[in-house]
Chain A
Amino acid sequence: MKVGPTLDGRLRIDAEDEDDWFLLGCIAKDAAGDSLAERYGEIMDGEVAEDWREYVVPDLAEQFEGKVVGVQRAIDEAREGGSGQIWVTRETAFDWYGALNLARLALEERYRFGPGRVLKRANQDPERYFAYIRSGFYSAIQSMLLGNLMK
């Protein structure tokens, strides 16, 4: 897979084989495995918590799902179109960043990698290690989005 900024201010992701498509498909699967909106509701002060759960949490959950669905749709369209190229524009950069963030937050919630920890492959549960690699991959794309499209 190749990922890089283009001269016209977009980010291009080239999926080159099945492994790449599989990895890109993991973004939505990882993000779906978490209920971040509810977790945010749980940390709110008692005085506002009830209203928060009733009004804000459903809205946030819908927003988060929208980002993930949008990214998965872009991946599916690129795959079905046969070009293998995914273009991220300034208009869609925040949704991409958000979907990748949701995936990373969900992986962190599940595997507790911790801040800045470097995991060695040896002695690691393979599933956990693959999740760690995915999180690093998502983070690398986020850095490119942040540095090139979002500021």
Chain B
Amino acid sequence: MAETDTLTLTRTTPSLDVPWNVIVHDDPVNLMDYVTMVLMRVFGHEAAVAERMMMEVHTKGKSVVWSGGREKAEFYVQQLHSHQLKATMEKVA
């Protein structure tokens, strides 16, 4: 055995892929039909689903429109901002 041995210690940190919610917030400017259209274009939601989400934004002030990985959530929020919708993302509690 050599005088100096190298001990390799491997530490594994569990990386949980915590899901994120993409949230659209109400604002007094965006037209309701436009919000529905953007939700259909960005997420590929069916018209009925997009309309229900739009109504939730309108009546409750916000709606979770998508949940999933962080990278994709960032992409979607960027798309929503690009369409001038007020959107945020937050970790699912």
Chain A residues packing against B (C-beta within 8 Å): 36-37, 40, 43-45, 47-48, 56, 60, 63-64, 97-98, 101-102, 104-105, 108, 113-116, 139, 142-143, 146-147, 150-151
Contacts and interface: CB of A to CB of B under 8 A. Distances in A.
Contact of B28 (A44, A113, A143): A113
B29 A63 contact: no
A101 B30 contact: yes
B3 to A, nearest CB: 47
A102 B83 CA distance: 10
Interface size range of chain B in the complex? 20 to 34
A101 B37 contact: no
Which DSSP category, helix, strand, loop or mixed, fits chain A's interface?
helix
Majority DSSP secondary structure for residues of B touching A: mixed
A148 to B, nearest CB: 12
Contacts of B78: 56, 60
Contact of A151 (B27, B30, B37): B37
Q: Which 10 A-B pairs have the closest CB atoms?
A: A115-B28, A40-B81, A104-B29, A101-B84, A105-B29, A108-B29, A45-B90, A43-B88, A146-B33, A56-B78
Contacts of A40: 81, 86-87
